[in-house]
Structure 1
Amino acid sequence: MTQHMSPPRDDTGKATPTGQLPFWRGLMAHLDVRTLSLLGVLAALVVIGGVTKPDEFLDTRNLQLVLTQASVIGVVTVGMTFVITSGGIDLSVGAIVALASVWATTVATQDYGFAGILFTAVAVGVGCGLVNGLLVAYGGMVPFIATLAMLASARGLALQITDGRTQIVTVDQVLRLGERDAYVLGIPPLVMVFAVVTVIGWLVLGRTTFGRRTVAVGGNAEAARLAGIDVRRQRLYLYLLSGLCCGIAAFLLIVLSGSGQNTNGNLYELDAIAAAIIGGTLLSGGRGTITGSVLGVLIFTTITDIFALNNLQSDVQQIAKGAIIVAAVLVQRRTASTT
């Protein structure tokens, strides 16, 4: 039997169009239980941090640092969300970030200044995404295997370029972006970039034909093909998008650290996948949420900060993250079985 939701009603009991709802009730109408739960978890973590280390955790500089650190992995997670929503996976994002960061910080590249570093980082990311996309979409390779091969190759090439050494950035325009003088109204430039990428990702996934095609491919690729969607081309575009996000993240990491290293982006693939999963994106594809993924990133980054401020062992931190991931997957399975 088909169930029909009753229209929203005002305080007098009369039906009210959604667009005419009071602000807070209209906002709540667009938030699902999972998003509210994630906001609750994030709020609880803020309370824990404020109680255990009030002076350090609630300090403006620390909050700026948390948001800045979340920006790099957050941009990667936006791209990962699109890939997972389509039913794919990208294990190479961390290695692509490393390769892009070292390629963009070589002496030859830095001779071209700010534009050279930015262009190289983005170009390398998109190039790696193109290879992944061609292997998966047109080569018929399983995404797990194709991106695993890219992970190994990109890490090896990054090590070969640097010869195991750290490449220091000498371009002042890049370094100044990481200084407090570059903050706008107390907001670091990296956070603003993350916000822009998040908004664009949210609009594309939820408000465009490209987003609807991504969800359709993840839900049922054969049905999407029969509906006229070029599934192979869509998958190619998605890995290009993931590579683009990796290139942007590599540039942000260069600004944040002032260097390029072959160890950059270590385990980014696991953090990005975990953030997307706890945010509500289905590993099997067919459903994705940028808002949830960003909240997942903020939750993990806040946990890391609280553990660091309280001098807790990193292994306990990893256990906590693992428990959160398992809980999120179990909730997904429970939700899927009841729908």
Structure 2
Amino acid sequence: MNSPASVASKPVPPPAKEGSASRRLPFDMRQLSLVGVLLALAVVGAITKPDEFLAAENLRLILTQASVIGVVTVGVTFVIIGGGIDLSVGAIVALASVWATTVATQDFGLGGMLLCSVLVGVGCGLVNGVLVAYGPMVPFIATLAMLASARGLALQISDGKTQVVTVDAVLDLGIKDSYVLGVPPIVIVFAVVGVLGWLLLNRTTFGRRTVAVGGNPEASRLAGIAVKRQRLLLYLLSGLCCGIAAFMLIVLTGSGQNTNGNLYELDAIAAAIIGGTLLSGGRGTILGSVLGVLVFTTITNLFALNNLQTDIQQIAKGAIIVAAVLVQKGRSSS
């Protein structure tokens, strides 16, 4: 048996980066397969609804709808790679959107609303992180408790009513005059968050520590990584993404509601899974998660254009998730 000293002397293996190779299947094959799925969906849309699906307005709509849940998914991906789970993201988005659209908050204008939304998200992430890292509580239970608490607080603050935004500077971000080269500001924010998330995961010590902690927490601790602090930071990052997404949703809808972010946690986790993130932690990619979000959003758009029932759409999404998990199991056992 190896002594603790000998275990500690063994270096933690470096994380696999996007583009690295496994023994049988190149790591980027999952991203290529998702691109193939997107192309196939585009072909289906071009055949079934050529005038509507390929219209620039509809393509902007797909990107806009993907942006809010996409930002949430970036944060969730980090948490899962780090060996955790976050079931509270949808409720945090709802709470942040409601808190940021109260009359008192709107009196501070765009800056006050944005700051409030971000602080609420980070505050909820801090609570999750403390409970998981220092509680210690199982991530499932801690974030489930946050889900219930945040939803209840959002309902209490809003009294079940829709809070309409009256700040012109916020509403103006959602109109065509604010588009940059035809691209809505919300989509630009999604792109920036995605790029920053990719850089953080693949080009920084924080990203390497995240992968190490998710892959083997004990070996990471013996190698000198502050595992508890790393887990806390991951939930703070997830909360930050929720706060940003909440403000994006406010811009998109012009209101704050306690029902916002409904089932975002499931959509975000599903997008991360089909993008190659292991639920057991230790591996995942931001690019894969973004592609996963785009796949689900495009499916939703196609079903809406073709007037297909929602239940069939959910079955299709479920089949995709099952297929992705089976592929993961096949790769891990090879």
TM above 0.5, yes or no, is yes
State how far apart, in whole Å, the 2-side matches of 1:166 and 1:32 are: 43
For the pair 1:148 / 2:129, whether they are aligned, the reply is: no
Q: Which residue of 2 aligns with 1:34?
A: 30
State how far apart, in whole Å, the 1-side matches of 2:296 and 2:37 are: 11
Q: What SS class does the counterpart of residue 259 from structure 2 fall into?
A: coil
Residue of 283, 288, 311 corresponding to 2:284: 288
State how far apart, in whole Å, the 1-side matches of 2:27 and 2:88 are: 32
Equivalent position amino acid for 2:51 in 1? D
State how far apart, in whole Å, the 1-side matches of 2:143 and 2:27 are: 34
Q: Which residue of 2 aligns with 1:301?
A: 297
Q: CA RMSD in A?
A: 0.8
Q: Which residue of 1 aligns with 2:12?
A: none
Q: Which residue of 2 aligns with 1:65?
A: 61
TM-score (norm 2): 0.92
Q: Which residue of 1 aligns with 2:198?
A: 202
Give the ranges of 4+ consecutive aligned residues of structure 1 lying more than 2 Å apart after TM superposition.
none
The correspondence of residues 247-326 of structure 1 with structure 2, limited to 5 A, is 247-326=243-322
TM-score (norm 1): 0.90
Equivalent position amino acid for 1:260 in 2? G
Equivalent position amino acid for 1:83 in 2? V
State how far apart, in whole Å, the 2-side matches of 1:33 and 1:193 are: 27
Offset at residue 288 of structure 1 (A): 1.1
Q: Which residue of 2 aligns with 1:217?
A: 213
Offset at residue 31 of structure 1 (A): 7.0
Q: Give structure 1 stretches of 5+ with no counterpart.
A: 1-29
Q: Give structure 2 stretches of 5+ with no counterpart.
A: 1-25
How many equivalent pairs are there?
309
State how far apart, in whole Å, the 2-side matches of 1:336 and 1:73 are: 28
Q: What SS class does the counterpart of residue 177 from structure 1 fall into?
A: helix
Equivalent position amino acid for 1:98 in 2? A
For the pair 1:97 / 2:93, whether they are aligned, the reply is: yes
State how far apart, in whole Å, the 1-side matches of 2:182 and 2:46 are: 20
For the pair 1:233 / 2:229, whether they are aligned, the reply is: yes
Give per-residue Cα distances to partners, 1:142-196, cap 9 Å, x unaligned: 0000000000000000000111100000000100101011001111100000000
Residue of 112, 116, 119 corresponding to 1:116: 112
Equivalent position amino acid for 1:171 in 2? V
Q: What SS class does the counterpart of residue 160 from structure 2 fall into?
A: coil
State how far apart, in whole Å, the 2-side matches of 1:96 and 1:50 are: 37
State how far apart, in whole Å, the 2-side matches of 1:57 and 1:170 are: 33
State how far apart, in whole Å, the 2-side matches of 1:126 and 1:32 are: 32
Offset at residue 50 of structure 1 (A): 1.2
Q: Which residue of 2 aligns with 1:191?
A: 187
Q: What SS class does the counterpart of residue 183 from structure 2 fall into?
A: coil
Equivalent position amino acid for 1:176 in 2? D
Residue of 134, 157, 161 corresponding to 2:153: 157
Q: What SS class does the counterpart of residue 91 from structure 1 fall into?
A: coil
Q: What SS class does the counterpart of residue 174 from structure 2 fall into?
A: coil
